[in-house]
């Protein structure tokens, strides 16, 4: 029986490196500039009523900040615009007073030199815009996860072992780790050569060091790479599937370390990609859909899979 299936290709919430690239691109375009007007075409986008959105108009942008997977834009009057792009929301830099056309265009933030346009693909409106006042209100929007780029090894380990979770779940839980999602967790675990289903309370000290180093190095690599791209052009095409990824979105393609085919676990709208040779000692992790279909015939090793 064939087990060949096309790779899963859902969009994904922009993660820490993607948000950093957006902030890098916006820094040069809007900080110090006056937000002249905000145009909202979707009644589902704005999630707050007070302070009113009109209070941000005519205000100068003083700072930008990442709050988890959100983008926060700070005003001189102590107000913050907070954008959560969710799965299908994306930002675009357009000519000044750019028209909002079609159902995908949700809002425009007009500046003297251009308009920041928010779009959202699909029919489900999940992207959100909040207006909050003051530092305390902004901090209250954080989910509680640690900033992995600022945390030391001990703090990193303490956060991930507070509950006994799989590494995949722990890395992507915003209450534990701030800003990592499906794509970069795959890349981190491949770099650390650790199984996505290994339990956090079972790691050895050597494995913790590998995981911590891989997390730091992977995120910094992609922050630097995407920020360099944002220097050349605004990041119009943020995606969870990049051609230079080692495993994420590369099902059945060769692992860059060992050359064997990348494997996957599918669940709901997500997909975890891993290398069985580099991460699980050659053992295949059960794919819920296929293992249910094949039952006792589900292959346990790469060799058995190749025989199919």
Same domain assignment for residues 210 and 269: yes
pLDDT at residue 2 in the model:
37
Same domain assignment for residues 230 and 92: no
Residue 4: cis peptide before it, omega within 30 degrees of 0: no
Is 18 inside any structural domain? Answer: no
pLDDT tens per residue across span 217-236? 999 999 999 999 999 999 98
Tokens of 15: 């993660």
Is 108 inside any structural domain? Answer: yes
DSSP class of residue 248 equals T
Same domain assignment for residues 162 and 275: yes
- Backbone torsion region of residue 58, taken as left when φ is above 0, otherwise alpha when ψ lies between -120 and 50, otherwise beta: left
Query: Per residue in 79-109, is it b (16+ CB within 10 Å) or e — as a string?
Result: bbbbbbbbbbbbbbbbeeebebeeebbbbbb
* Contact (Cβ atoms closer than 8 angstroms) between residue 30 and residue 116: yes
Boundary of a domain, candidates 139, 162, 182: 139
Cα 246 to chain centroid, rounded:
16
* Contact (Cβ atoms closer than 8 angstroms) between residue 106 and residue 128: no
pLDDT tens per residue across span 284-302? 887 655 455 444 444 455 4
Boundary of a domain, candidates 139, 167, 196: 139
Same domain assignment for residues 50 and 121: yes
pLDDT at residue 12 in the model:
79
CA dihedral 192, 195, 201, 207 (to 10 degrees): -30
Same domain assignment for residues 133 and 162: no
Domain count, the chain: 2
CA distance 239 to 235: 10
Task: Count Cβ atoms within 10 A of the Cβ of residue 146 and give its class: 0-12 exposed, 13-18 middle, 19 or more buried.
Answer: middle
* Contact (Cβ atoms closer than 8 angstroms) between residue 59 and residue 35: yes
The closest of 12, 58, 41, 19 to 129, measured between CA atoms, is 41
Among 53-67, 187-201, 268-282, the least confident range: 268-282
Is 55 inside any structural domain? Answer: yes
CATH at residue 289: 1.10.8.50
- Report the interhelical angle of 153-161 vs 205-232 (nearest 10°): 110
Q: What is the largest CA-CA distance in the chain?
A: 67
Q: Please give the average per-residue pLDDT across 164-188, as a whole number.
A: 94
pLDDT tens per residue across span 3-60? 333 344 446 789 999 999 999 999 999 999 999 999 999 889 999 999 999 999 999 9
pLDDT at residue 307 in the model:
46
- Residue span of the structural domain in which 48 resides: 31-139
The closest of 103, 106, 98, 119 to 238, measured between CA atoms, is 119
Is 9 inside any structural domain? Answer: no
Same domain assignment for residues 169 and 122: no
Task: Count Cβ atoms within 10 A of the Cβ of residue 262 and give its class: 0-12 exposed, 13-18 middle, 19 or more buried.
Answer: buried
pLDDT tens per residue across span 104-162? 999 999 999 999 999 999 878 899 999 999 999 999 998 889 999 999 999 999 999 99
Same domain assignment for residues 300 and 167: yes
Is 285 inside any structural domain? Answer: yes
Same domain assignment for residues 121 and 254: no
Is 13 inside any structural domain? Answer: no
Is 216 inside any structural domain? Answer: yes
DSSP three-state, residue 138: helix
Neighbouring residues of 253: CB distance < 8 A, sequence distance ≥ 6: 261, 262
CATH at residue 129: 3.20.190.10
- Bridge-based pairing state of the strands 70-75 and 79-84: antiparallel
């Amino acid at each position: 029986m064939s087990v060949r299936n096309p790779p899963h290709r859902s969009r994904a919430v922009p993660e820490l490196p993607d948000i950093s690239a957006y902030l890098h691109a916006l820094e040069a375009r809007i900080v110090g500039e006056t937000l002249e007007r905000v145009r909202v075409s979707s009644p589902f986008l704005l999630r707050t009523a007070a302070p009113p959105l009109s209070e941000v108009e005519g205000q100068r942008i003083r700072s930008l900040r990442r709050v988890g997977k959100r983008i926060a834009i700070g005003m001189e009057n102590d107000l913050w615009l907070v954008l959560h792009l969710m799965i299908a929301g994306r930002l675009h830099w357009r000519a000044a007073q750019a028209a909002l056309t079609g159902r995908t265009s949700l809002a425009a933030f007009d500046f003297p030199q251009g308009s920041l346009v928010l779009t959202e693909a699909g029919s489900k409106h999940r992207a959100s815009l909040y207006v909050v006042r003051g530092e305390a209100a902004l901090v209250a929007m954080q989910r509680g996860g640690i900033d992995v780029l600022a945390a030391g090894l001990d703090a990193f380990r303490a956060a991930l072992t507070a509950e006994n979770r799989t590494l995949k779940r722990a890395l992507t839980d915003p209450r534990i780790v701030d800003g990592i999602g499906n794509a970069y967790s795959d890349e981190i675990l491949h770099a650390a050569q650790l199984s996505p289903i290994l339990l956090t309370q079972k790691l050895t000290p050597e494995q913790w060091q590998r995981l911590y180093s891989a997390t730091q190095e992977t995120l910094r690599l992609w922050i630097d790479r995407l920020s360099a791209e944002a220097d050349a052009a605004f990041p119009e095409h943020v995606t969870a599937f990049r051609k230079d990824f080692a495993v994420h979105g590369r099902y059945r393609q060769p692992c860059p370390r060992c050359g064997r085919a990348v494997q996957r676990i599918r669940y709901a709208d997500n997909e975890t990609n891993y290398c069985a040779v580099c991460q699980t000692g050659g053992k295949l992790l059960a794919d819920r859909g296929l293992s249910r279909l094949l039952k006792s015939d589900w292959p346990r090793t790469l060799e058995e899979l190749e025989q199919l």
